[in-house]
Amino acid sequence: MHVLVTGGAGFIGSHLVEALVARGDRVTVLDNFDPYYDPARKRANVAGWRGGAALIEGDLREPAVLAHALQGVDAVIHLAARAGVRASLAEPSLYVDVNVTGTQVLLDGLRTAGVDRLVYASSSSVYGARSQGPFREDDPVLAPVSPYAATKLAGEHLCQAASHSHGLRVSAMRLFTVYGPRQRPEMAIHLFARRALGGLPVEQFGDGSSRRDYTFVGDIVAGLMAALDRPRPFRVYNLGNGSPVTLGQLLAGVERVFGARIERRPLPDQPGDVPLTWASIDRASEELGYAPVVPLGEGLERFKAWILGNGLD
């Protein structure tokens, strides 16, 4: 199978590309190396492929670039997006342009190229601010609390419309708090690890009771590949670990794994943050065979090995 991965030089994308190449797929990557994501880190991700995937540098919002990338492709995994709940509050128009317009340009390009299989990376943020879980795919999702969440939900709706109107087979994957090697430095686990290693305090937003469904990147990759292999008319899936932990528990886990006490500096809750993310993975388990295998403690150990090896440059 020839697979195009948009945003494939990033954190999740680079792991996905490696897994696709390892199983024998032909892979093309389209990535614009946006400065927001530290292009040097993404270049390091690409270097690890050792020629196993073709790289096209460009923006999928440019139809000619996208048309070139789609030549001979059987399926697309769409990871390219502007991420970050808090950052989206400052630049909502940019998030709409990248995440919504970019997705529609891709859908138009798929129709022109005759490609009918798409895996779309959505987000658990579409569920909004909820205090009870687990979150199920058929729950109402009518109240996103950040521009980022709204753009990912809009992308789902555009994909559903394309499926209905043009027969596109789309799996929309709601990813829950992904972590692991190559994670962006501003994300929680990476940030906490660096602070622990440097003996620096951590800014703790809220009282530590917020809960997140932390999911190791390898489990996410397995879920994305399972969706790629089982195309169907529009379908939404949660990809999470199914076992949320509090912020306090996460910090304690980082302290244990890194052998360092972390000073907490409490701050008010951040706008756009939610009290809970918690994935029901029943649908993904039943229909895709999805079964996360990396518990948080093991995932933190793997992250430690990576950051001590090459993540501190």
Among candidate residues 80, 58, 78, the one with its CA nearest the CA of residue 69: 58
Kindly report the length of the chain: 313
The span from the CA of 115 to the CA of 243, in Å, is 36
Cβ atoms 30, 80 nearer than 8 A: yes
Please report how many Cα atoms fall inside a 13 Å half-sphere around the Cα of residue 74, on the Cβ side: 9
- Per DSSP, the three-state class of 201 is coil
CA distance 173 to 156: 9
Question: Virtual CA dihedral for 304, 29, 126, 99, nearest 10 degrees?
Answer: 130
Exactly one of 95, 120, 127, 148 is catalytic; name it.
148
Is 148 known to be catalytic? Answer: yes
Between strands 75-78 and 117-123, the pairing is: parallel
Could you identify the residue written with the tokens 């991700």? 45
Q: Is 32 exposed, middle or buried (0-12, 13-18, 19+ CB in 10 A)?
A: buried
Distance CA 45, CA 48 (A): 5
Round to whole Å and give the CA distance between 301 and 73. 37
Active site amino acids: 148
